[in-house]
Structure 1
Amino acid sequence: MNRRSAWLGGLVVLICVAPLLADGPQTGTIDGRVLDAQGAPLPGVTVTLTGPQNTRTVITDADGVYRFALLLAGRFTVRAELEGLGSAELATDLDPGQRRGVDLTLVSAAEEEITVTGEAPLISKYETALAATIPAEITDNVAFGTRAYSAAVRQLPSVVNRSDADSRPSVNGGISTEVGIYVEGVDTSMHRRGGEMRLLIPSTALTETKLESTGFGAEYGRATSGIINSTVKTGTHEFHGEALYIGQNPKWRAPDALELERPDDQINSYETSIGGPLARNRAWFFVSYGRMSDNRIDRLSDGSIVNLSRQSDPLIAKVNFQPRDNQQIAITAIDAPSDAIGLSGNPGDKYAIMNFPLNGRVQTMNWSLGLGASNFLEFKVANREEFVGRNAAEQHPIDPNASPDDPLGNNFRYRDLATGLRHNGPAVRLAEGFNDFPRDQASVSLTSFRGRHEWKFGVDAQAIEFGNLTSIITEFRGRNFDPNLPGGYVTPVNKRVFDPSNVITQSSDFLAVFAQDRFEVGDNWVWTLGIRGDQQTIDNDIGERVNEYTEWVPRVSGVYDVKADGSILLRGTLGRYYHAIGMGIVLQEFSRQNNGENIYEQFAWNRATQRYDRFQRRVEPTFDQAIQDVDPYYKDEISFGADFQVSEKWVVKSRLIASEADNIFHATLQYDDAGRVVRDLRNWSDARREYRGLQLEANRLFRNNWTLRTNYTLSSTKGNINSLNDNFNLNEGLGGVEVGTGLTNATSSPYWFGRLLEDREHLANVIGMKRFVFGRHDLVLGGFLHYASGAPWASHVSTQVRHPVSNQPITTSTFREPAGSHRLPDTLTVDLSLLYSIAMAGNVRAKIGFDLANATDSQEPIAINTQTGVPTPRVASYQRPREFRLKVGFSF
């Protein structure tokens, strides 16, 4: 692709001349001071850092300061030693991109040297955001709804999933499209809309997944509700590996809410990995390969049972190099193809369901370089690929004796205007075809320590495209589908014959810059002041510039260390966050060419000929309408809280959060001055969402290998819009009169504002793990409890409004009662796991165990038809039934 090649060439030049910082820093820093018993700094002390890969040594400066930078995530031991003063040693965990402060005190002894050991504080005064992590210890030993890493995210504070969809997490009252999803510091968000954890990889291949939900720093943008960054495991100085067979079967699930017959089909999944050194103290590797399935069946409206399991075959490879102590190079490649049948588009029979192959890839290289003891560069280049196919899952044979307008004579779609179901052909609106989402990224970084200041400057550039092929060809419309009737309906209406389309491509470029200063004031204060600028340009399918904006936003964070020892931290954040404009709106609103659905001829049903052969009209956009420019919407947020290190192994965090998203845009159908129906895309001044929340988190490591992690969120999410797409019915058809009621402006009533679908008044998570050791035997028990208030809903029905003069109709929807008037039942899920292992030969251990997802088999409704007030008769409308998964394998 010429445009992308030229863009990447320009980025090579950019990297060579612009030493700045970008999204998703992956290397961290451990620094601090070495003091004597009276608190005076000690120069000339030897400080040794021991980590998963190697050991490094530095000498403290005149102020007793030491620093280790360009560190990969992991567990480290810091040891300070000076002749005559003994030694001190502290252990600490470092997250990707984190700065961890570790101060050590050496105590003089009259007769012998003293060694002081312990754990560094588990909370950090240098953290800007409210952050929560999922360490590898949890994902390796605790069961979740599926084995994919997205399922584990549910345990994090304030995370909500619509309809049990783990791949679309929402955070702090936002919607799933507003979350930035990163893997290895690479933005993998689905840029048609935003958000979504689309890479299907096993959680056991990750060293950590981290959520920064509130107050994230100026280095992140394009997202308003939070940042989720997952880091692949790395090799260590010892060879290690694991092979784990995961046995599944639909029969091993409990009967579902619809009591569907469960086939006895064995699903053979597995997860394997191996890692270790390539060159001692200089190079390491990690490779993971697996097969995963979410083991799902469901039922269509005609009673057909469909296997909806998505199978993924992820391959992950990572190599780390450290040519010198002041250099760190990481190269990661992820290839995660998957395939599944889906029920998108409201299919009414098996010929309407579609197959959705998803090919997801990430390739990235990260190069970190130290320039002396105080300046550090980080370069990153990456490519993200996502290709989603849309294929008919099954087609019936065409009867050569049938009319081409009858269902038996074609494989096209029949859209039932009475039921909303789609039959006989692809149910998805765009029918067969594909979506292609390539994304090229590059960034470069400078972090500079100057006295008590930590300066960061950054730039991040991305080039994204959205290629689409739509092949509807023909669509038949009528009421009450019957494949054996002429025209396919009791009441045939019309057919639309669409002009064939070629692949059309839209593109967008991002450029972001930021500057940030984190500085200490006295012994108690740490302030972080940042500013970020985001620029986005969007070109449509003919290369026409349809949108361009530049926005600058402030980010402020303050931390007060009450005792000046890191044990009690008071925090506050303030900032504005802009959401990037997704590429889906470009396809639908700004396309200038035939896109497969915007040019068609319509034919009415002819009773005399029993054919759709009465020509009505040809719909063909003039492509001369003015481009309707929109601005990105934003969220303003403020938070206050406190972190407590109750003991060496016990941390409690709290945060009060208030935010409001404003200036939200969406497209509607409206009337012009002549009463004609026109498309209207704009920012609506009264479209908004507001969030108020209290988050509490308590994590403790007990003696005898006990781990307990808990969090609770009390919140309120209100607003009048939370659509995942850019179409919405709020304020649609203004000036129109509702058919049947005579109401004017039925879509702008006060009923629209209320509790939104993401609102969960109470959220609670408890994760526990206990390891029993009996000589050569290990037994690990894990448990995860998730409680959530039921999702709010209200009567929201389809309706029609007509212009009082032209009588032109607009089909839309409206609320018949205040939004959020009702709630679905609360949900409670308990996942259990057991893994027994025994030492065999050398360091090889044999393993056997099981996962029991939703052990209590709670199957409360989680989705409802807001027109009828009852759940849709599908398994997906209820909590997933209990599943037993067998685990057998070995590790070394």
Structure 2
Amino acid sequence: MANQAIARRFKRSTLAAALGLCFIGGVQAQTNTAGAVGGQATAGDSITIANPATGFSRTITVGSDGTYRFAQLPIGQYTVTRNGGTPRNVTVNVGTSANVDFVSSAATGAQDLGTVTVVGNAVNPIDVASVESTTILTAEQIAKIPVPRDTTSVALLAPGTVRGDAAFGNLASFGGASVAENAYFINGFNITNSFRNLNFAQVPFEAIAEQQIKTGGYGAEFGRSLGGVVNQITKRGTNDFHAGGNVFWAPDSLRSEVKSAYLANPLTPGAFGSLRSDNHEDSFEEWRANVWASGALIKDRLFAYGLLSYGHQDADTWGNVTSTQNSSDSIKIPTWLLKLDWNITDSHILEFTAFSDKIKTDSDVYANRPGVVERLNLIGTDFREQGGDNYILKYTGYLTDSFTLSALAGYGKFARSQHLRTAAGLPVEYTGDINSIATGCPLITDARPEYRRNITGVYSSTCNITGSSATGGTIERTDSGDTRKQFRLDAEWQLGDHLLRFGYDRDDFTSKAGVAFEGGFQWRYTTTDPDGIENTGDEFDIVRQQFFQQGATVEVKQHAYYIQDSWNVTDNFIAYLGGRWDTFENLNGAGESYVKINNQFGPRLGFSWDVFGDSTFKVFGNAGRYALPLTPSVAVRGASASLFSRELFDFDQTVDPVTGAPINPVAQPGTFRYLNSEDGRGKNPLTIASQNLDPMYQDEYILGFQKAINEHFSLGVRGIFRDLKQAIDDNCDYTAIYEQAVAQGLTPLLPNPGFPYCRMFNPGKDAVFVTDVEGDGVLRTYNVPGARLSPQAKRTYSAIEFFADGNWDKFFLQGSYTYAKSKGNTEGGVKSDIGQNDTSVTQDFDYLELTTDTYGYLPNDRRHTLKLFGNYQFTDEWSVGANLLVQSGRPLNCIGVLDRDPTRAPGAPPNVDTYDPHPYDAAFMRCNNLPVPRGTRGRLPWTTNIDLNLAYKPGWAPGLQLKMDVFNVMNSQKVTSVIEQAEVPESGLPSELYLLPASFQAPRTVRFMVQYDF
């Protein structure tokens, strides 16, 4: 029996050395910047852990229960010794707990293992102390596989993640959630851009040591996320001096031709099959250079790591699929990172991180005709700046053998500024003052039929081209940007069989934002045709002038308390119990609170069962509730001063050849109106949201197991169910209150700052709205039944994930297969159906009519996803890597108008004389006046992507490495998104743009790398 127990324990250590990192399940009892080492030993033993590279060392005495634990260790390679004996090597990774036993547990017999030496990587292949769904990838692993060097691309390697819609940029969807529901951290600091939750600080990727992707079940220390968490740890200095540099280059000459887009709506036979976007002359080229150095400023005490990165990107787009614009981008990206680590003593550590991710983009915008490769006159140049500087200070104190305390303070700035210059050199900018007008030329939209457009010569404009502007519509204020101030305190306390963690997290986010029409306003030309027959002489044109501008400095204040306990009920069974209490407060442009939610409770429960007691087979499960605050972007327009007006004009059928504006317009009496009560005055904060508003929150349940098949290979499976219990969105049907007020004998006054059209609410829940009905300052309370406004928001995600990890001497392979369903009547924070990025205020629940037939399979529903990636080192100098992704397509919709003509028969074409569309235009799940429930118009095609690389490390030049990555080797360019709006709002007739491809798989691209380390 003794020999068998030792053999089992030795097998466990061998597995650890062989497998290395794998897909781990675990709610970890350590911070999001560190790992831990623990295990079994004899009571009274002295256990010492040391990092030879930094001189760090700690010694603790084993407690009476025979267990020991080193908490909150910086990631790296360590040695562990008992009573000064033979050291064992162990690797500490972020968020994981490595196990090194010197005696076996009760589950396998109390045998002394002091003579067994662990070699290589001693991280347990199966972390039996955890219940979380986590993938960890190190810099070494990422470098060996062909993957773009950015945060999202690496996150997409994890099971349960899919790429979000192209309309939102390079973002991932986790577990069916929208791309606006994730959280991103660097060295413990939240780098999520909370303005819309659609961006995050881009740390220079060469500085990343590890990236942890949490796709579910994460502990109470993490919050403000319904999707997933991406947690990155940067590299740091050691006693040894290291320096190096590399250059990445992706030449356009080796990039395959971009696929062109053709009109695809069979209901428009005259246009079907016509070339809409000729992309064969599109070009894209980029390069990036990085240099770095690290070492000890004071041996064993003070260390530094620094990196400087500079890149350049040129993109030329000739035929845009949805507009008549072309752009040529030049992106200059000087970024940097500095990491300082000070081991004040072996019991006190201070870390400082600073980095900059500023990006400047210049885009020249030209006019062209759809489907024609041409370059007409220059419209203007769009200048944008994004990103900023971030500073993080963290202290860790090992105050006793069993108590550890850490404190973090961080400050970050993020710019979102924009200004323009017209072809004639005219500056175009918006200062953000609600009473100011953006400079430049007015925006011109010509919605007249083709046979009417040529008579006015609008196309000859040199300031603005019909349907075009340098921005396509609105311009951001020049000083747009965000500021984050964050502080958190975390403590860990080992009390016998209980490992307690508790803490406080404060995160205040301030946004300065606003947009306005380029040129200050928009002219929109339309034609009135009394007899409905083209070109009979009774037609006449009218023009609508529209103003739209907003600007404010808004804020969200957030804090949370959490506590969690990992309880070793037995030697091989751990129970996890946690709770988190979140408070969210949103402030408008006047600094007034309009939404505050106190102490939203998020329970977390879980268990982990080490079935055989040797870490080779784990069964785990968890259940948790996760909440999401309201983004600051909501307040810029919805809770602060804004202006939105329209007025109709007659004109003498001629336009200014420079500006495109009508000549001698005459206002039609009685047509001027403010929309949505947006008349430029500030809004009463008490009227903006339902008084019983709850945060957006979701319940999650996971059950799974993981099994080591042998010393080289492990398999696992988990089932996941997520249920959105409550959403936050806006509703704009003010008639629910208007009718109650009239019934009370009141006379509602609109517009009125105390009577907003749109208000924040929980869809399906009875709302309590406060309103100044008559504009006299008297606030009245109205209870509106949830069914009067909208059905309950629904979104469920159910999936089964199979994951595997293999590691041999010269070969490693990781992979997963996910079968998933994402179903409901809302995607969440954003709306991929129409590319709407107004987080938390999509049009989903604006009116009850918009919610009809919206329940079905959602945009992030990818039923099947297969991922495989790995590397084979076939000689000491040569290696090859591969990355495979096979995925089914997303569901399709037919989004059309709602014709309110009661005489129109279902399926009949619109009657030109009685056509009466709902003002939300093409926004309903219906086409040709017939219902088309969500997701019932088929699916996009399956996609397959194969990436390969070849690396050469010549033995004659140590430190030199050459590598070539080929992305999308087969050059598969399947459609990944299409235009789903199927009808023309002005007529209700089929739109020729329906089903037009809006994005394809990226074409085959080759990237070269040269790197030298010393």
Q: TM-score range by the shorter chain?
A: 0.7 to 0.9
**What CA distance in whole angstroms lies between the structure 1 residues aligned with 2:712 and 2:393?**
36
Given that residues 966 and 1006 in structure 2 are in contact (C-alpha distance below 8 angstroms), is that contact kept between their aligned partners in structure 1? Answer: yes
Cα deviation, 1:507-542, whole Å, max 9, x if unaligned, reads 121110011111101112111111110001111111
1:192 corresponds in structure 2 to 195
Given that residues 833 and 849 in structure 1 are in contact (C-alpha distance below 8 angstroms), is that contact kept between their aligned partners in structure 2? Answer: yes
Measure how far apart 1:613 and its partner are.
4.3
1:27 corresponds in structure 2 to 34
Q: Taking structure 1 as reference, are residues 671 and 342 closer, same or farther at Cα in structure 2, changes over 3 Å only?
A: farther
Q: Taking structure 1 as reference, are residues 709 and 588 closer, same or farther at Cα in structure 2, changes over 3 Å only?
A: same
| Amino acid of the structure 2 residue aligned with 1:222 | R
2:805 corresponds in structure 1 to 699
2:494 corresponds in structure 1 to 449
SS at match of 1:138: helix
1:424 to 445, 462, 469: 469
Cα deviation, 1:805-841, whole Å, max 9, x if unaligned, reads xx99532411122212211111111122222122557
1:809-848 alignment runs, 5 A limit: 810-812=919-921, 813-816=923-926, 817-821=932-936, 822-839=938-955, 844-848=958-962
1:283 corresponds in structure 2 to 302
| Amino acid of the structure 1 residue aligned with 2:878 | L
Q: Taking structure 1 as reference, are residues 57 and 588 closer, same or farther at Cα in structure 2, changes over 3 Å only?
A: closer
Cα deviation, 1:226-274, whole Å, max 9, x if unaligned, reads 2111111111232223211122222221011026354788644212222
2:762 is equivalent to residue 683 of structure 1: yes
Q: Taking structure 1 as reference, are residues 733 and 355 closer, same or farther at Cα in structure 2, changes over 3 Å only?
A: same
1:787 corresponds in structure 2 to 886
Q: Taking structure 1 as reference, are residues 393 and 170 closer, same or farther at Cα in structure 2, changes over 3 Å only?
A: farther
SS at match of 2:757: strand
Q: Taking structure 1 as reference, are residues 614 and 352 closer, same or farther at Cα in structure 2, changes over 3 Å only?
A: farther
2:397 to 369, 390, 397: 369
Cα deviation, 1:528-563, whole Å, max 9, x if unaligned, reads 111110001111111221010121121111111111
Measure how far apart 1:711 and its partner are.
1.4
Deviates more, 1:215-224 or 1:146-155: 146-155
Given that residues 239 and 277 in structure 1 are in contact (C-alpha distance below 8 angstroms), is that contact kept between their aligned partners in structure 2? Answer: yes
1:405 corresponds in structure 2 to none
Cα deviation, 1:28-61, whole Å, max 9, x if unaligned, reads 3212122xxxxxx364355443454335252543
Q: Taking structure 1 as reference, are residues 49 and 303 closer, same or farther at Cα in structure 2, changes over 3 Å only?
A: same
**What CA distance in whole angstroms lies between the structure 2 residues aligned with 1:656 and 1:26?**
28
| Amino acid of the structure 1 residue aligned with 2:259 | A
Measure how far apart 1:313 and its partner are.
2.5
Cα deviation, 1:334-372, whole Å, max 9, x if unaligned, reads 10111336899x999963884432123321011000111
1:692-771 alignment runs, 5 A limit: 692-703=798-809, 705-722=810-827, 723-724=829-830, 725-734=839-848, 745=849, 747-749=850-852, 751-771=853-873
**What CA distance in whole angstroms lies between the structure 2 residues aligned with 1:95 and 1:875?**
43
Given that residues 92 and 122 in structure 1 are in contact (C-alpha distance below 8 angstroms), is that contact kept between their aligned partners in structure 2? Answer: no
Measure how far apart 1:428 and its partner are.
4.2
Given that residues 125 and 566 in structure 1 are in contact (C-alpha distance below 8 angstroms), is that contact kept between their aligned partners in structure 2? Answer: yes
Q: Taking structure 1 as reference, are residues 262 and 608 closer, same or farther at Cα in structure 2, changes over 3 Å only?
A: closer
**What CA distance in whole angstroms lies between the structure 1 residues aligned with 2:309 and 2:84?**
49
**What CA distance in whole angstroms lies between the structure 1 residues aligned with 2:202 and 2:45?**
49
Q: Taking structure 1 as reference, are residues 800 and 379 closer, same or farther at Cα in structure 2, changes over 3 Å only?
A: farther
2:460 corresponds in structure 1 to none
**What CA distance in whole angstroms lies between the structure 2 residues aligned with 1:143 and 1:171?**
22
1:3 corresponds in structure 2 to none
Measure how far apart 1:659 and its partner are.
1.2
Given that residues 788 and 826 in structure 1 are in contact (C-alpha distance below 8 angstroms), is that contact kept between their aligned partners in structure 2? Answer: yes
Q: Taking structure 1 as reference, are residues 464 and 431 closer, same or farther at Cα in structure 2, changes over 3 Å only?
A: closer
SS at match of 1:167: coil
Given that residues 251 and 262 in structure 1 are in contact (C-alpha distance below 8 angstroms), is that contact kept between their aligned partners in structure 2? Answer: no
**What CA distance in whole angstroms lies between the structure 2 residues aligned with 1:447 and 1:92?**
22
Given that residues 167 and 198 in structure 1 are in contact (C-alpha distance below 8 angstroms), is that contact kept between their aligned partners in structure 2? Answer: no
**What CA distance in whole angstroms lies between the structure 2 residues aligned with 1:67 and 1:731?**
51
| Amino acid of the structure 2 residue aligned with 1:790 | G
SS at match of 1:140: helix
* Paired residue total: 816
1:388-403 alignment runs, 5 A limit: 388-392=416-420, 394-396=422-424
**What CA distance in whole angstroms lies between the structure 1 residues aligned with 2:304 and 2:210?**
17
Measure how far apart 1:476 and its partner are.
1.4
Q: Give the TM-score, by structure 1 length.
A: 0.84
**What CA distance in whole angstroms lies between the structure 2 residues aligned with 1:760 and 1:371?**
49
Q: Taking structure 1 as reference, are residues 279 and 829 closer, same or farther at Cα in structure 2, changes over 3 Å only?
A: same
SS at match of 2:200: coil
Cα deviation, 1:739-759, whole Å, max 9, x if unaligned, reads xxxxxx4x332x211111101
**What CA distance in whole angstroms lies between the structure 2 residues aligned with 1:375 and 1:683?**
42
SS at match of 2:253: helix
Q: Taking structure 1 as reference, are residues 544 and 600 closer, same or farther at Cα in structure 2, changes over 3 Å only?
A: same
Deviates more, 1:284-293 or 1:348-357: 348-357
**What CA distance in whole angstroms lies between the structure 1 residues aligned with 2:844 and 2:577?**
38
Structure with the largest fraction of strand: 1
2:328 is equivalent to residue 307 of structure 1: yes
Measure how far apart 1:390 and its partner are.
2.4
2:706 is equivalent to residue 643 of structure 1: yes
SS at match of 2:306: strand
Q: Taking structure 1 as reference, are residues 467 and 560 closer, same or farther at Cα in structure 2, changes over 3 Å only?
A: same
SS at match of 2:1001: coil
SS at match of 2:976: coil
1:738 corresponds in structure 2 to none
Measure how far apart 1:862 and its partner are.
0.5
2:103 is equivalent to residue 101 of structure 1: no
Q: Please, which runs of 5 or more residues in structure 2 have no aligned partner?
A: 1-27, 261-277, 371-375, 428-438, 450-464, 528-538, 655-662, 740-749, 751-755, 765-791, 831-838, 904-915, 927-931, 983-990
**What CA distance in whole angstroms lies between the structure 1 residues aligned with 2:201 and 2:902?**
47
1:9 corresponds in structure 2 to none
SS at match of 1:150: helix
1:206 corresponds in structure 2 to 208
Measure how far apart 1:415 and its partner are.
3.4
Measure how far apart 1:440 and its partner are.
0.3
Q: Taking structure 1 as reference, are residues 431 and 838 closer, same or farther at Cα in structure 2, changes over 3 Å only?
A: same
Q: Over the residues paired in the alignment, what is the CA RMSD in angstroms?
A: 3.6
1:76-91 alignment runs, 5 A limit: 76-80=78-82, 87=86, 89=88, 91=89
2:459 is equivalent to residue 458 of structure 1: no
1:337 corresponds in structure 2 to 358
**What CA distance in whole angstroms lies between the structure 1 residues aligned with 2:98 and 2:111?**
29
Measure how far apart 1:310 and its partner are.
4.7
SS at match of 1:314: strand
Q: Taking structure 1 as reference, are residues 447 and 693 closer, same or farther at Cα in structure 2, changes over 3 Å only?
A: same
Given that residues 150 and 166 in structure 1 are in contact (C-alpha distance below 8 angstroms), is that contact kept between their aligned partners in structure 2? Answer: no
**What CA distance in whole angstroms lies between the structure 2 residues aligned with 1:198 and 1:174?**
17
Q: Taking structure 1 as reference, are residues 470 and 305 closer, same or farther at Cα in structure 2, changes over 3 Å only?
A: closer
Given that residues 45 and 83 in structure 2 are in contact (C-alpha distance below 8 angstroms), is that contact kept between their aligned partners in structure 1? Answer: no
2:647 is equivalent to residue 548 of structure 1: no
Measure how far apart 1:306 and its partner are.
2.6
| Amino acid of the structure 1 residue aligned with 2:672 | R
Given that residues 258 and 282 in structure 2 are in contact (C-alpha distance below 8 angstroms), is that contact kept between their aligned partners in structure 1? Answer: no
| Amino acid of the structure 2 residue aligned with 1:25 | N
Higher Cα radius of gyration: 2
**What CA distance in whole angstroms lies between the structure 2 residues aligned with 1:80 and 1:856?**
55
Given that residues 467 and 506 in structure 1 are in contact (C-alpha distance below 8 angstroms), is that contact kept between their aligned partners in structure 2? Answer: yes
Deviates more, 1:215-224 or 1:239-248: 239-248
Cα deviation, 1:838-864, whole Å, max 9, x if unaligned, reads 2557xx522222121111111100110
1:855 to 966, 969, 972: 969
**What CA distance in whole angstroms lies between the structure 1 residues aligned with 2:248 and 2:581?**
47
2:443 to 404, 408, 413: 413
SS at match of 1:752: coil
| Amino acid of the structure 1 residue aligned with 2:935 | G
SS at match of 2:615: coil
Measure how far apart 1:103 and its partner are.
1.4
Given that residues 803 and 809 in structure 1 are in contact (C-alpha distance below 8 angstroms), is that contact kept between their aligned partners in structure 2? Answer: no
Measure how far apart 1:412 and its partner are.
2.4
> Identity of counterpart residues, as a percentage?
19
